[in-house]
Amino acid sequence: MTSPIQPQKPIGILGGTFNPIHHGHLRLALELYERLDLAEVRLIPSARPPHREPPSISAEMRLAMVKLATEDATGLYVDDRELLRGGLSYMVDTLESLRQEYPHTPLFLILGMDAFMTLPHWHQWKRFITLAHLLVVRRPGKILPMVHIMRDFLNTYQVRSVKELLHQPAGHVLVQEIPALTISATQIRGLIANGKNPHYLLPESVLNFIHTHHLYL
Ligand code: ATP
């Protein structure tokens, strides 16, 4: 008799500049961790994001803030592979290195619907689906106009239930509706630059770090 293969719990991957990390990121990660019964969510700071201006704060500082924010968090971990790797931080390289480390584990690359729409501009984006599942997060009721190429992509790869993702390490897209907190790093940087108080938008420990190092003034 063959024993049924137990699916491994998936690992969620949340990349970002985290300049700085805030409660919008943390709530998103925790909601997905609990709702989809993930093994963990990895927050992966982008050292040198290829498709945006270089962040105003060094990668080491941004990493330090993600470490502080996840210190006591259940299920959320920081992953510094993009800093260790050096060069431009291409997501395809990150997925490849995670896949080498975890050959059989389902990997869920977490992307907002807006980011999903921009995928054709990402380096080697068509390989993502061979390395991971895509977990596309949409705000309830928010329907974005779908560019043709991504509509076709969704028609090809979308599944309706997380169960369909558990028995394969990669290859499908799942859309999840998550109510987003309307917080952005841009808003926090703007508040600080204007002498306003960003309290309650981000963890206290991160705010203390920002003040100690005189960031975003
Ligand atoms: P910035 O304002 O500098 O563009 P940001 O706040 O959008 O930054 P990023 O580091 O670019 O933060 O975001 C990383 C990931 O977290 C992205 O996938 C983004 O869609 C998601 N995200 C950012 N803010 C929120 C939020 N308030 N709720 C849910 N997801 C968020």
Evaluate: CB of 13 within 6 angstroms of ligand 1. no
195 found inside a domain: no
Which of 65, 55, 44, 73 is closest to 198 using CA atoms?
Answer: 65
* Predicted pLDDT of residue 217: 95
Q: Does 3 have pLDDT greater than 60?
A: no
pLDDT tens digits, one per residue of 119-159: 999 999 999 999 999 999 998 776 767 778 898 999 999 99
CATH of the domain at 56: 3.40.50.620
116 found inside a domain: yes
CA of 117 to the centre of ligand 1 (A): 15
191 found inside a domain: no
The range of the structural domain enclosing residue 107 comes to: 11-182
205 found inside a domain: no
Let me know: does 70 contact 50? Beta carbons within 8 Å: no
- Determine the residue of 13, 17, 61, 192 to mutate for testing ligand 1's pocket, defined as the one with the most ligand atoms within 8 A of the Cβ atom: 17
Number of independent structural domains in the chain: 1
CA of 146 to the centre of ligand 1 (A): 20
